[in-house]
Amino acid sequence: MKTLFLFIALFLLSPVARADAPPKFDTLKEFLAWADTKLGSDDYDGLASAQVASKDHKETRIAYIKKLDVDFSDGSLSKIFKGRNFPADKTKLKLGGHNKELGHCHIDFVKVKGHWQLARIWQCR
């Protein structure tokens, strides 16, 4: 009976734990659609909370995301990076930065246990 109770308790609690975990992405297209939805609904907190790198304070992360949203409010990330994919042979990826597609905004990713996660959104200038 204790085993059954433990199994049920773990089963019921596991979705709560997963809901707080940073999102994982298998394709860049999946991330871009997700990020476009977050930006379109001004869910800066959601984008800030999804970052797995802890280099910046939450307020700083939100400021970077707001700047990205203002700078690219007329286009979507999905359009800007259409046709791009996560690299199969690497564990890190950077979009934008150093006056590329996103000006000086960087979107960094890291591959963890076979899935990609948003590491950091930041500005280099």
Assigned token pair, 32? 């871009």
Using CA of residue 50, residue 51, residue 54, residue 56, what is the dihedral sign?
Answer: negative
pLDDT for position 73? 79
Q: Residue 115: CB partners within 8 Å, gap ≥ 6?
A: 24, 25, 26
Q: Residue 64: CB partners within 8 Å, gap ≥ 6?
A: 56, 105, 121, 122, 123
Q: Is 71 helix (H, G, I), strand (E, B) or coil?
A: helix
Q: Residue 67: CB partners within 8 Å, gap ≥ 6?
A: 105, 123
Show me where the domains of the chain are located. Answer: 23-123
Q: Residue 27: CB partners within 8 Å, gap ≥ 6?
A: 85, 86
**What are the pLDDT digits (tens) for 57-78?**
999 999 999 999 998 877 899 9
Assigned token pair, 101? 């597609």
pLDDT for position 74? 77
Low-confidence ranges of the chain (pLDDT < 70): 1-19
- Report the predicted TM-score, pTM, of the whole model to 2 decimal places: 0.82
